[in-house]
């Protein structure tokens, strides 16, 4: 036989100790397991009841909101239907009352646009040109005879 087999064998004293240990620990484990199962079951039942209560409250709130939304949609639909029925009359009245803008207003707007464009062009043109140097020129500007 190998040495691992002899190491796995228990002595009679060890067997008795293990048997007593598991004999006393067994009922404790069974009791702990039963209490744990009862607690988990209770927790699950409480969570289910709370969820059911929340769902019922939410359902009643959603029913109220849905009814209010239906009323709002019905009133909006009625006003839209009324506006559609009055649309041909509105088109006729706008065709009659439409006027062309006066030529003076068109000319004034054109002149204003041109003036703003000219000012913008001159500002942009000045900003792109380099500034003159504040230092005196390094070469004499007057020719020598």
The pLDDT value given to residue 7: 62
User: What gap in Å lies between CA 95 and CA 77, rounded to an integer?
Assistant: 27
Better-predicted residue by pLDDT, 24 or 124:
124
Mean pLDDT for 76-88 is 87
122 part of a folded domain: yes
User: What gap in Å lies between CA 26 and CA 17, rounded to an integer?
Assistant: 14
The pLDDT value given to residue 5: 55
The pLDDT value given to residue 145: 64
The pLDDT value given to residue 98: 58
Q: What is the CA radius of gyration of the chain?
A: 48
- In the chain, which ranges are continuous DSSP H helix? 3-8, 12-85, 87-97, 103-128
Confidence of residue 109 (pLDDT cuts 50, 70, 90): very high
5 part of a folded domain: no
Q: Which domain holds residue 111?
A: 101-128
In eight-state DSSP terms, residue 30 is H
The pLDDT value given to residue 136: 74
- pLDDT, tens only, 35-72: 888 888 899 999 999 998 888 888 888 888 888 999 99
116 part of a folded domain: yes
Better-predicted residue by pLDDT, 120 or 127:
120
12 part of a folded domain: no
The position carrying tokens 């040495």 is: 3
Confidence of residue 96 (pLDDT cuts 50, 70, 90): low
- Count of domains for the chain: 1
Better-predicted residue by pLDDT, 107 or 19:
107
3 part of a folded domain: no
Reply yes or no on whether the pLDDT at 91 is more than 80: no
Mean pLDDT for 101-121 is 89
Residue 131 main-chain phi, psi, to 5 deg:
-75, 145
> Which pTM was predicted?
0.33
85 part of a folded domain: no
């Amino acid at each position: 036989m190998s040495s691992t087999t002899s190491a796995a064998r228990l002595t009679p004293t060890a067997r008795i100790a293990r048997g007593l240990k598991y004999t006393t620990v067994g009922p404790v484990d069974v009791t702990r397991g039963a209490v744990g199962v009862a607690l988990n079951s209770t927790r699950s039942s409480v969570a289910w009841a709370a969820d059911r209560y929340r769902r019922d409250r939410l359902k009643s709130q959603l029913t109220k909101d849905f009814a209010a939304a239906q009323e709002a949609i019905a009133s909006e639909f009625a006003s839209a239907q009324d506006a559609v029925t009055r649309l041909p009359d509105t088109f006729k009245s706008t065709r009659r009352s439409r006027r062309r803008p006066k030529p003076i207003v068109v000319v004034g707007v054109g002149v204003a646009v041109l003036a703003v464009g000219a000012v913008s062009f001159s500002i942009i043109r000045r900003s792109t040109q380099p500034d003159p140097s504040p230092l005196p020129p390094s070469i004499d500007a007057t020719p020598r005879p």
